[in-house]
Amino acid sequence: MVKISVMIFDAPYGHEKPYTALRFALTALLEGHEITIVLIQDGIYVGKIEQNPNEYPNHLEYVENIISEGGRIIVCGVCCKSRGIKQEELLNGAKIVGMHEIVQAVTESDKHISF
């Protein structure tokens, strides 16, 4: 099996890309691959707690399932700071990191996909 990094750039619920990325990541994880999700730009909102959409699948449930299955979620610190998001506003298991950690996660991956 391989290490895969999945970078999510878009906020949840406005586009299908984050939902597709999370489905892809969870499926790959369940097939035995190692997954690191990188939330960057407006994608940081994918990891924000207390999401409760009425008309869409809840992205947060996918993130929780990914974490419980051993996936790693890292969140761009500069993106959080510029949007006023603090660590305590993110799901337990999602970690705010710097660009060095993001570069390391991507370069250590065998495969990389961006949404």
Q: Which domain holds residue 67?
A: 3-114
The CATH code of the domain that includes 54 is 3.40.1260.10
In the chain, how many domains are there?
1
Alpha-carbon span 9 to 5, nearest angstrom = 13
Mean pLDDT value across residues 56-61: 84
Distance of CA 106 to the CA centre of its chain: 13
**Are the C-beta atoms of residues 10 and 115 closer than 8 Å to each other?**
yes
The string of pLDDT tens digits covering residues 66-107 is 999 999 999 999 999 999 999 999 999 999 999 999 999 999
Burial 30-69 (b: 16+ CB within 10 A, else e): eeebbbbbbbbbbbbbbbbeebeeeeeeebbebbbebbee
- Within 10 angstroms of residue 23's Cβ, the number of other Cβ atoms is 13
Nearest to 11 by CA among 85, 70, 100: 85
